[in-house]
Every structure is written in structure tokens, then in C-alpha cells.
Structure 1
């Protein structure tokens, strides 16, 4: 029965034994468990290593156990990164890695934290400091180029092929920009294409096998097939 002085603590059943006493030691154990969950989900060793380093840098910058971090702490760290000239994408990564770790604590360690340290977990990342895909310091959005401007651009690239001292780099650039334009690929996706990824006989138009498609930071690349429309073949 839940009375006026009782409430449910999230985070699973408390383990038997002595509750954690040192917050830093306990946080280190939580980090190890969080990293182990990445490996259990099949993340690549490179991803695990990079994200572990990012998480450690984030927690060091915050300067207090994750369950004691406030919205003001997040603002401070993000502000310091901005003053240091770090890119908006870097600042977003710091916020996202902490948010993921805090979610893990809520799901797995909330009961232990509240019982041992008297802190009820509330994520300090809110609508005012949450990471955005476009930073506030991004340049003003420009209108897309007109069809005439695009035609002019590709005519310039074709002319450059005919006059370039080295044919291969100029032809490569033309093919790369044409692929970006017609297939809608991201620049990194197009740059990672190889000859074996081009399948002219698949489907009515042929397809590109984008093996290194963009995915979530924690789930890795997502391969997909892209039809070669509009004469991309």
C-alpha cells in the first residue's frame, strides 16, 4: 500500500549488500556499466572508445557527480566550449552523451542513487540547453540555388574537365557533385562510395549501395539502396 509518506522509486530492485558511499567511485562503476551496455548492443570498438573518451571529458568538465548536475552546470560547460571556439556539433555531442548517460542512470541506478545519496534523478537537459541540430551561431539560411545557377555550376565543372591538367581529379569532382545532386546523398556518404557499390542492373534505373549511410551516433551507419534517377547512371 502506498501511503502519504511512501512513493515508488524507479530504477529497479536495490541490490543486496552495502550501498555505495563514495560518489566518484560509484559514478566510475556506472560509467563502466554504461560502456558495457554499448558493447552488449554490438557497437564497434572505435565507437566505444571515442564515446567513452567523450563521456569522461564531459563528466570532468561538469565537475560533480552526474546526479548532482544542474541545468546551470550544463549551461556553464556549453558556454565554456563556445568561448573556446568549439564547433556547435562538438557542443551538441557533449550534451547528448551526458543525456544518454543520465538516461542510463534513471533506468538502472535511480534506486541506489536516491537511497545512498538522497538525490532523485531529474535530467538537467531542458528545452533551453538541449542540443539542436542547427546551432544558434549558424549562418543565416540561404535560399537554394536556382535551376539556372545549378546548370551553370555543372557546365563549369564539365569545362574544367576538358581543360584540367589532370583529368582524374576533375572527373571525380564532377561525378561526386552529380551524385550529391541527383541522389540526395550526404557528402561523406558519396565520398565513401566505391566502384562495387554501383549496380546498373538492379531495378529499372540501377541503384547505389550506400554502405556507410548516416545513422544514430550510438547505432552506427545504416546501409541503404538509392535508385539512380534523373540520369545519374
Structure 2
């Protein structure tokens, strides 16, 4: 009879292999029993750090669902939301612009977009009355908060610069008034530039020197070119 050439595996080889396999099964099943309780499956993170800076790896604590982050500069979450707006119309009743006013912390952010205006600088003010009739003088004078009479007035804003094509966009901030102060008031674009009270003492006028009452009341910004009630 011919001698068989088939060799049985040596026990010296088989035994270590079986031991490694058994150890692997024990490691995988230890403390990894499946559960029918919702939410108890351990988190698994691969190739990235654990969320929220917590230590990663198998068995690490699951990160709590992220909350909506609070504003970083300390104001209430509602400070930036909402706001007010108005449509700005000329004396003929045609819309020539829009404005939005929102609260950001201790400031109002006023955004004005306009078109069809004369190129150059135009005074931009909140006025004390919420009416836009006729030539817009119904809106009264510049808004003054708390009975103040100084010029520039509380309602004075950065002048609106209109380009050669008649269009303009301005984003400006003010801490002189609040949303409550300007709600229901008129926002007016004037026909000329505001002097912001920069009248030198040598300025001469009939009857004396310095700014006259008209200059103090209007900032020399001229006629009222557009008006809208803030709401």
C-alpha cells in the first residue's frame, strides 16, 4: 500500500489559532449584548473626534443633542428677530424705496434701498408724526426722544448717498432711538444733504450770526422727497 502524502495539522499550530479565535469571540460578546431598550446602543465613532470635545472611542458617553446656540454677544435671542419696515413713497404716491429696522443688542440697524432720486446726499430722519400727507410736512419735525431739543436730533440718521443712476443703499446703526420709539413714526428722505448741526459761529444770517431756526429744525436738508410710516 502506498504511503499517504496527506498530513494532519500539528496540534502545536492548531491550538494557538483556536485560542486566539476564542479570545476574539469573548471580547466581542463581553458587555455588548443587544438590548431591546430604545436608546441603549453604544455610540460608534469612526475616524473623527467625539462631538463636543468629549473623549472618543468605544464605550464613551454619548453626546447630548445640541441645543440652539444662544447669541454670543449677550443679547436675548429675540433681539435680532422681527423688526419693522416701511415703503417710502414720493409726493406722487409712487414707491421709491423701502426701509427695514431691526434691533441688534443696544442698536437699531436701519437698511434703506431707494431708486429714482436725485444724485447726491440726502438727509434721512425719523420724524415725530406717523403721517405722510401732501408735501410730508404733516410728519412734523425730527424725532426727539424724551423732549430733547439738541441738534442733531434723536431721529437723525446717516445721510443717504444716491448714485448717478438715481439708486442708493444704506445700512446704518443708531443707539439714539429704539424700536418702540420709531414704531408708528415717519421716515423721511429729504431733497438735500443734512448739515448735522455743523454751523460755524461765523455763519451770518439776517438778524445775527449762527444757525437760524430753520437750519436748526431741518438741518438744511431741504424739501421732503419721500416718506413712509414705520410699522
TM-score scaled to structure 1, two decimals?
0.20
Q: Return the structure number with greater helix share.
A: 1
Q: Which is greater in Rg?
A: 2
TM-score scaled to structure 2, two decimals?
0.20
Q: Return the structure number with greater strand share.
A: 2
